């Protein structure tokens, strides 16, 4: 009986692994967070448009380099369980307008990153920001993402990615907000 159960288990794992190698595999996450900051909207807008705050305060954003007036290169570190961390490079286009900060991947085929901040000022010297971050990775084979990806599945790995991104965004908001208040005090405004 044990040998039959073992055989069936190995067979199912093999079929799952083979299946994962024949179709594309996508992991994705989308996270939205709201925050209110007791500062003027123009000050907050100028602060969050500074690309250098992202590698400074957003975990796993290793670097952001401005390529030209509209494009920047973002290096994002992916840390998957039981795997060596690796970096993904995104070229983002600045599509910001008015009270909306928006950076989106130019190439949306395999790796996609979307960063948005919508600002509003409900009362004087108070700014509300709605942050929206999206990330996705698509590969021909699940094993290109992680050696256990085919077994763990897109849904499970996407949920893990979302949990991680939620924590990273919370960390970013907390650290950037503290720094924003310090920057406001030292600017004399």
Looking at the whole model, is its pTM more than 0.85?
A: no
- pLDDT given for residue 80 in this prediction: 67
Mean pLDDT lowest among 86-95, 135-144, 171-180: 135-144
- CA angle, 64 then 65 then 71, to 5°: 105
What confidence tier does 8 reach under pLDDT thresholds 50, 70, 90? Answer: very low
Using a pLDDT cut of 70, give the percent of the chain over it.
Answer: 85
pLDDT in tens, 48-71: 999 999 999 999 999 999 999 999
Domain boundaries, the chain: 2-187
Is residue 90's pLDDT more than 60?
A: yes
CA dihedral 97, 103, 109, 112 (to 10 degrees): -140
Mean pLDDT lowest among 33-47, 145-159, 162-176: 145-159
Q: Please give the full DSSP string across the chain, using - where no structure is assigned.
A: -HHHHHHHHHHHHHHHHHHHHHS-EEEEEEEEEEEEESS-HHHHHHHHT-TTHHHHHSTTEEEEEE-SSSEEEEEEEE--TTS--EEEEEEEEE--BTTEEEEEES--SSEEEEEEEEEEEEETTEEEEEEEEEEEEEESSGGGT-TTHHHH-HHHHHHHHHHHHHHHHHHHHHHHHHHHHHHHHHHT-
pLDDT in tens, 146-166: 777 888 888 988 898 899 999
Is residue 134's pLDDT more than 70?
A: yes
- pLDDT given for residue 14 in this prediction: 56
Q: Which fold has domain 2-187?
A: Alpha-D-Glucose-1,6-Bisphosphate; Chain A, domain 4 (3.30.530)
């Amino acid at each position: 009986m044990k040998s039959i159960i073992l055989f069936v288990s190995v067979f199912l794992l093999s079929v799952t692994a083979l299946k994962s190698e024949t179709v594309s595999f996508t992991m994705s996450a989308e996270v939205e967070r709201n925050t209110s900051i007791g500062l003027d909207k123009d000050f907050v807008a100028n602060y969050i448009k500074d690309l250098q705050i992202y590698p400074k305060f957003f975990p796993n954003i290793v670097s952001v380099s401005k390529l030209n007036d509209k494009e920047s290169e973002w290096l994002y570190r992916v840390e998957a369980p039981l795997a060596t961390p690796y970096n993904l490079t995104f070229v983002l286009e600045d599509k910001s307008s008015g009270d909306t900060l928006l950076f989106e991947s130019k190439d949306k085929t395999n790796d996609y990153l979307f960063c948005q901040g919508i600002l509003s000022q409900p009362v004087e010297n108070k700014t509300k920001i709605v942050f929206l971050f999206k990330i996705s990775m698509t590969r021909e084979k699940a094993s290109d993402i992680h050696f256990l990806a085919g077994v763990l599945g897109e849904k499970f790995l996407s949920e893990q990615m979302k949990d991680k991104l939620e924590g990273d965004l919370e960390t970013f908001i907390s650290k950037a907000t503290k720094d924003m208040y310090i920057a406001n005090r030292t600017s004399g405004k």
